[in-house]
């Protein structure tokens, strides 16, 4: 059974300044930059009985199979500008950054269940600095190898994702910089830059909608791990001040519904038990401290779903030529649950999802665990 939370926020459009393209300008200068595609899939829309289904497909960012590198790379850029070279030009690309840190003995450190750590390792390699990445026990070997392939020192610990984060945090010093995609009191500056880095995805969507003359979404479904990506969605779409802003719906695994828990409690306390879930990127027990306020102000609803919906979504997407993981399919899984799970009938009505709806799903990764992918698609799981 799914769970949900309706957030009747009174002040949706208050307190947001117009978004800027700074992160997109930075990313577009990096080697290998291309927009992640935005698809409009009428066949799937027909199957879901809505007007259009938009899919932002993040299966290849700078050759990595997920969106996360957008955050890590921009945060490192901002850190260098603030703490190493304040005269760094806004237009400085990789060469400018390398110049700024030349002669410094830097290492980037982070914790991850896969994608973020690979992004940190990637930018470290681009800059010619070291990377140490902590991972929780039980991480599948393909995700570990993916990060090692970027040249990072990967340390798999006996413990959860939250414990991996605290191990990474302990290593911080003036030469070892923690680049973490979650936040807590006293550690919020870099996570905010990471959220800003994700704005590249939002500006691409904006430009792609215009370029392909597509209707703006009436609803956006975003997967939630610690909530940083959801903050980027809320910040962007509320700041654009559209007369008819889209409804924003967060999707979490029911066993790791840390945002739903935080919104219910009104504070960022951790879940007592977290996981297991096949949606590995969303298996987080504590929402980021910088996420709660924006989500309370800008999120319309949260849905917590069982793993079976992710399997169903992966299979459906595969039939329509999209190969994605359990986490990647989770936003569509949320749509399927909303349309088909009777326990969500009231929410569906509240969100006014009908034949006029244009739903945007953020499909945040490609295939990161080929074994699980094959088992799910070919029916073994």
What is the smallest separation between the CB atom of 310 and ligand PLP, expressed in angstroms?
11
E strand spans, 254-357: 301-305
E strand spans, the chain: 3-6, 38-40, 52-57, 107-111, 130-135, 153-156, 176-178, 219-223, 247-253, 301-305, 358-363
Residue in the structure block whose two tokens are 């990647």: 328
For residue 244, the number of C-alpha atoms closer than 13 Å in the C-beta half-sphere is: 7
Asked about 300 being catalytic, the answer comes back as no
What is the smallest separation between the CB atom of 102 and ligand PLP, expressed in angstroms?
32
Element (H, E) at 117: helix 115-127
Backbone angles phi, psi at 180, to 5 degrees: -115, 140
Nearer Cβ to ligand PLP (19/225): 225
230 closest CA partner among 201, 188, 189: 201
Beta bridge partners of 301: 6, 249
What is the smallest separation between the CB atom of 116 and ligand PLP, expressed in angstroms?
5
Nearer Cβ to ligand PLP (100/179): 179
Nearer Cβ to ligand PLP (19/223): 223
d(CA 330, CA 278): 10
What is the smallest separation between the CB atom of 22 and ligand PLP, expressed in angstroms?
19
Contact set with ligand PLP (CB under 6 A): 66, 68, 115-116, 181, 223-230, 281-282, 327-328, 364-365
Nearer Cβ to ligand PLP (2/330): 330
Query: Is residue 141 exposed (0-12), middle (13-18) or buried (19+ Cβ within 10 Å)?
Result: exposed
What is the smallest separation between the CB atom of 75 and ligand PLP, expressed in angstroms?
13
Given the residues 12, 56, 68, 312, the one annotated as active site: 68
Element (H, E) at 126: helix 115-127
d(CA 51, CA 114): 35
Residues, the chain? 381
Given the residues 12, 52, 113, 369, the one annotated as active site: 113
Nearer Cβ to ligand PLP (181/306): 181
What is the smallest separation between the CB atom of 280 and ligand PLP, expressed in angstroms?
7
Nearer Cβ to ligand PLP (97/228): 228
Asked about 113 being catalytic, the answer comes back as yes
Query: Are 119 and 149 in contact, with CB atoms under 8 Å apart?
Result: no
Residues forming the active site: 68, 113
């Amino acid at each position: 059974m799914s769970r949900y939370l309706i957030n009747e926020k009174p002040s949706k459009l208050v307190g947001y300044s117009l978004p800027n393209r700074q992160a997109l300008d930075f990313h577009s200068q990096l080697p290998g930059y291309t927009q992640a595609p935005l698809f409009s899939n009428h066949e799937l829309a027909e199957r879901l009985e809505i007007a259009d289904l938009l899919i932002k497909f993040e299966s290849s960012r700078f050759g990595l199979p997920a969106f996360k590198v957008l955050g890590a790379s921009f945060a490192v850029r901002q850190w260098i500008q603030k703490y190493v070279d304040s005269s760094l030009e806004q237009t400085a690309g990789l060469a400018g950054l390398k110049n700024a840190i030349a002669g410094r003995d830097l290492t980037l450190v982070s914790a991850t269940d896969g994608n973020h750590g690979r992004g940190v390792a990637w930018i470290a390699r681009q800059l010619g600095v070291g990377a140490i990445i902590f991972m929780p026990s039980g991480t599948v070997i393909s995700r570990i190898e993916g990060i090692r392939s970027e040249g990072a020192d990967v340390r798999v610990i006996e413990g959860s994702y939250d414990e991996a984060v605290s191990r990474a945090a302990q290593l911080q010093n003036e030469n070892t910089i923690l680049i973490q995609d979650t936040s807590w009191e006293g550690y919020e500056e870099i996570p905010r830059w990471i959220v800003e880095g994700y704005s590249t995805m939002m500006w691409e969507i904006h430009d792609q909608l215009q370029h392909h003359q597509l209707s703006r979404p009436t609803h956006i479904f975003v997967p939630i791990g610690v909530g940083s990506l959801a903050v980027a969605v809320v910040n962007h779409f509320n700041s654009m001040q559209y007369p008819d802003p889209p409804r924003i719906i967060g999707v979490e695994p029911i066993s790791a519904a840390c945002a739903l828990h935080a919104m219910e409690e009104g504070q960022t306390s951790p879940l007592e038990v977290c996981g297991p879930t096949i949606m590995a990127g969303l298996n987080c027990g504590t929402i980021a401290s910088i996420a709660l306020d924006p989500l309370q102000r800008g999120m319309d609803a949260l849905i917590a779903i069982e793993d079976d919906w992710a399997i169903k979504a992966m299979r459906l997407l595969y039939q329509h030529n999209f190969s994605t993981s359990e986490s990647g399919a989770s936003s569509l899984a949320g749509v399927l649950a909303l349309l088909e799970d009777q326990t969500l009938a009231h929410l569906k009505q509240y969100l006014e999802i009908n034949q006029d709806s244009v739903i945007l799903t953020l499909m945040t990764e490609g295939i990161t665990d080929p074994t699980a992918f094959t088992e799910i698609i070919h029916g073994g799981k």
